[in-house]
């Protein structure tokens, strides 16, 4: 086959196809291949072309794949044939083709007229000839190919000017297209790639503003893509200073900071990824399919996991394993013998792995390969989490208990001694953290924050919260405490309880957990259905960046698409969706009420179909309110 395609006079097209499939970042569709190659014939011809490359390629559901990884590996050794002008030049060509294809982007590309129409309604009524057909790959990966062509761009910096032109002309239409393609996370990945390129100062400033714009308005753009241009003209009142946020484009995940604070590990859907804290770029990704309870160590040497066996739909836990994070090789394994792991966690020094079963605790010493096992003296029907003290001497287990003080228990790693929370009134601990260098725990229970001095056995209410405090984290070396509700993060001075900062993060999903880097410079905020946000603590604590920003929590649209309302923290604003003009606002707090395991949003807006009016509804324990 390679001898055949090297004959340029007859098989140049097949060589180009193999070159494209060898360098794209995911399998591409027939329409995407036609867009890349600018083919004018009917799509029905593409299968025949793929079959001409049958030694290497196959297709399924109009998507092109390698027949086997060995085929891709073989072609990787034939770069002189596939890329006669060099691999970097090939990537630059894909970058140019991407920008040429994206010239078709325009405002309201589907001609829906009403800016407030939802993405679901748009996708339910697609035009017969989809103008975005074939453009999905261009939208997602144009910057990736520019990055791969840096060897040429360094010699010809004018290539980077194309980025400025695209961002100035097509940025908003590109966001609209990504939303319609259900690929909006690709925008953040692209902008982070651009920030890492040697662009000129003006272009870097444009990219940075684009990134911050996207971070702030992403929730509305995700659900209402045609609102993108309107948000530039008319938007809620925001600060002159952008909020100090950076996102990691991983959704619904658990996070762990490395001990050197340079990396963030995310675990989501049987995948583990490592991200650079400095710029949010991905440095490693590992597929861990068929594994559960994936738990990385803070030193990034190991990760613990649970293996499964049995028939599909009736899987059972079979063993606990500790594997090398770099090589995925198994360091230690232990069969479970019908036991069920509920949670696992490594100690801050990565020397201990604690495993919690239904009735037992097991501690494994990483270096000495020794074991300690004790019965768990309390019953936790719902175990929310495990936390170690900073010296790894104590470990706390917390959750929901019907026996009052059993909702949190602290175990001495050396002796196995158990200590239960002395406050019987605390029946549910949703989050807890040890303060650094002392045996004192801060915890959230039923929306309030409590402080438990374990040595002195004193437990008192530290802060009565107006909202519902669900999550808590502590600085490692400083003196602040972070408390999170469903949608807001508050920073308090530990001794005086002074509010230092309030973060209004632009997300419509609920906060899942928060964590502090070991150097106290970053706070990771995990969401159930949104990217991970990294908050820059030093920047936010400076007076210049003290912000009281307003985040759009939810967008509501009238049935005819003519009106829209957005829910802010303390008010509702109603706009004319066509003109973007503000019509009126109502002082109506947007409150989200939920427990640790479920999300029940008890807030809504309803437009009247007969009159120019809007009703807002907020339900709390035994209360409701309707405002015309």
- pLDDT per position as a tens digit, 580-599: 666 766 654 443 323 333 33
For residues 415-424, average pLDDT? 82
User: Mean pLDDT highest for which of 413-427, 471-485, 584-598?
Assistant: 471-485
Residues counted in the chain:
628
The string of pLDDT tens digits covering residues 322-336 is 999 989 999 989 898
The pLDDT of residue 19 is 94
% the chain with pLDDT above 70 = 79
| Alpha helices (H) along 466-603 | 537-541
Q: What's the DSSP call for residue 223? A: H
Between the alpha carbon of residue 417 and those of residues 20, 381, 389, 398, the distances in Å are 62, 21, 15, 16
Give the pTM: 0.60
The pLDDT of residue 549 is 45
The pLDDT of residue 16 is 92
For residues 395-416, average pLDDT? 80
Predicted confidence band at 344 (pLDDT cuts at 50, 70, 90)? very high
Strand order in the sheet with 371-375: 343-346, 352-356, 360-365, 371-375
Segment among 315-324, 348-357, 399-408, 478-487 with least mean pLDDT: 399-408
Place of tokens 């494209």: 20
Tell me: pLDDT of 616 over 60.
Answer: no
Cα 201-207-212 angle, rounded to 5 deg: 125
Question: What backbone torsions phi and psi does residue 215 show, to the nearest 5 degrees?
Answer: -60, -40
**Which position has the higher pLDDT, 223 or 620?**
223
Segment among 108-122, 233-247, 276-290 with least mean pLDDT: 233-247
**Which position has the higher pLDDT, 442 or 623?**
442
Contacts of 118 (CB under 8 A, 6+ apart): 223, 224, 557
Place of tokens 């739909």: 313
Handedness of CA 475, 481, 486, 488 (dihedral sign): negative
The pLDDT of residue 443 is 93
The pLDDT of residue 380 is 64
The pLDDT of residue 551 is 52
- b (16+ CB within 10 A) / e for 291-316: bebbbbbbbbebbbbbbeeeeeeeee
Contacts of 160 (CB under 8 A, 6+ apart): 146, 153, 197, 198, 199, 200, 203
Asked if residues 430 and 449 have their Cβ atoms less than 8 Å apart, the reply is no
Per DSSP, what are the bridge partners of residue 442? 433, 451
* Average pLDDT of the residues of the chain: 81
The pLDDT of residue 31 is 95
Domains of the chain by residue range: 2-233, 554-627
Segment among 101-105, 167-171, 205-209, 608-612 with least mean pLDDT: 608-612
Q: How far apart are CA 25 and CA 32, in angstroms?
A: 13
The pLDDT of residue 235 is 46
Per DSSP, what are the bridge partners of residue 371? 364
The pLDDT of residue 119 is 87
Q: Which helix (H) or strand (E) holds 444?
A: strand 440-445
The string of pLDDT tens digits covering residues 499-549 is 998 887 766 678 889 999 999 999 999 887 777 888 888 878 764 444 444
For residues 121-134, average pLDDT? 89
**Which position has the higher pLDDT, 380 or 393?**
393
Predicted confidence band at 453 (pLDDT cuts at 50, 70, 90)? very high
Predicted confidence band at 617 (pLDDT cuts at 50, 70, 90)? very low
Q: Which helix (H) or strand (E) holds 148?
A: helix 136-148
Asked if residues 432 and 454 have their Cβ atoms less than 8 Å apart, the reply is no
Taking each continuous run of H as one helix and of E as one strand, the counts in the chain are 15, 39
For residues 244-260, average pLDDT? 79
Q: Collapsing DSSP states into helix, strand and coil, what is residue 382? A: strand
The pLDDT of residue 464 is 84
Structure tokens at 325: 């994070």
Q: How many other CB atoms sit within 10 Å of the CB of residue 152?
A: 14
The string of pLDDT tens digits covering residues 12-59 is 888 999 999 999 999 999 999 999 998 888 888 999 989 888 889 999
**Which position has the higher pLDDT, 375 or 207?**
207
Tell me: pLDDT of 609 over 50.
Answer: no
Predicted confidence band at 346 (pLDDT cuts at 50, 70, 90)? very high
The pLDDT of residue 361 is 86
Predicted confidence band at 228 (pLDDT cuts at 50, 70, 90)? low
Tell me: pLDDT of 241 over 80.
Answer: no
Q: How far apart are CA 553 and CA 151, in angstroms?
A: 43
């Amino acid at each position: 086959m390679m001898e055949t395609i090297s004959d340029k006079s007859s098989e140049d097209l097949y060589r180009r196809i193999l070159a494209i499939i060898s360098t794209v970042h995911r399998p591409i569709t027939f329409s995407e291949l036609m867009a890349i190659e600018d083919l004018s014939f009917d799509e029905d011809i593409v299968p025949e072309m793929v079959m001409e490359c049958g030694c290497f390629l196959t297709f399924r559901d109009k998507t092109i794949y390698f027949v086997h990884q060995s085929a891709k590996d073989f072609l990787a050794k034939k770069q002189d044939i596939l890329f006669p002008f060099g691999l970097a030049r090939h990537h630059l060509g894909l970058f140019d083709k991407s920008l040429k294809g994206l010239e078709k982007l325009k405002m309201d590309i589907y001609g829906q007229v009403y800016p407030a129409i939802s993405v679901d309604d748009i996708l339910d009524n697609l035009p017969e000839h989809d103008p975005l057909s074939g453009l999905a790959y261009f939208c997602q990966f144009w910057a990736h190919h520019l990055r791969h062509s840096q060897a040429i761009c360094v010699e010809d910096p004018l290539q980077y000017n194309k980025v400025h032109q695209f961002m100035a002309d097509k940025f908003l239409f590109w966001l609209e297209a990504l939303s319609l393609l259900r690929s909006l996370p690709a925008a953040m990945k692209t902008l982070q790639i651009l920030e890492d390129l040697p662009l000129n100062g003006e272009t870097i400033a444009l990219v940075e503003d684009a990134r911050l714009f996207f971070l702030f308005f992403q929730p509305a753009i995700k659900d209402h893509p045609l609102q993108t241009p309107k948000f530039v003209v008319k938007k809620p009142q925001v600060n002159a200073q952008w909020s100090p946020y950076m996102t990691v484009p991983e959704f619904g995940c658990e996070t762990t900071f490395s001990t050197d604070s340079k990396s963030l590990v995310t675990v989501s859907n049987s995948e583990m990824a490592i991200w650079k804290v400095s710029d949010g770029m991905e440095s490693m990704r590992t597929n861990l399919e068929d594994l559960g309870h994936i738990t990385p160590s803070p030193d990034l040497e190991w990760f613990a996991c649970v293996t499964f066996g049995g028939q599909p739909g009736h899987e059972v836990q079979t063993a606990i394993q500790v594997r090398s994070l770099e090589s995925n090789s198994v360091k230690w394994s232990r069969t479970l013998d019908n036991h069920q792991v509920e949670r696992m966690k490594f100690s801050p020094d990565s020397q201990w792995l604690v495993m919690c079963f239904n009735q037992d605790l097991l501690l494994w010493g990483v270096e000495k390969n020794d074991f300690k096992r004790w019965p768990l003296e309390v019953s936790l029907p719902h175990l929310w989490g495990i936390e170690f003290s900073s010296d790894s001497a104590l470990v706390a287990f917390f959750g929901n208990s019907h026996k009052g003080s059993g909702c949190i228990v602290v175990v001495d790693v050396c002796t196995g001694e158990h200590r239960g929370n002395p406050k019987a009134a605390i029946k549910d601990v949703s989050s807890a953290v040890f303060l650094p260098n002392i045996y004192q725990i801060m915890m959230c229970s039923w929306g309030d924050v409590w402080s438990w001095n374990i040595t002195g056995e004193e437990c008192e209410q530290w802060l009565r919260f107006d909202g519902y405090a669900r999550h808590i984290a502590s600085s490692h070396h400083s003196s602040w405490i972070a408390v999170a509700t469903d949608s807001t993060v508050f920073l308090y001075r530990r001794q005086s309880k002074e509010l230092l900062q309030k973060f209004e993060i632009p997300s419509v999903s609920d906060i899942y957990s928060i964590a502090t880097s070991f150097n106290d410079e970053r706070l990771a905020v995990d969401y159930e259905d949104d990217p991970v946000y990294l908050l820059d603590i030093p920047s936010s604590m400076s007076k210049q960046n003290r912000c009281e920003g307003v985040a759009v929590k939810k967008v509501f649209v009238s049935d005819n698409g003519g009106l829209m309302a957005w829910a802010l923290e303390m008010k509702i604003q109603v706009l004319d969706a066509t003109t973007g003009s503000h019509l009126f606002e109502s002082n109506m707090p947007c409150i989200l009420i939920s427990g640790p395991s479920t999300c029940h949003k008890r807030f809504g807006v309803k437009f009247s179909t007969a009159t120019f009016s809007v009703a807002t509804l907020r339900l709390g324990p035994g209360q409701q309110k309707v405002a015309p």
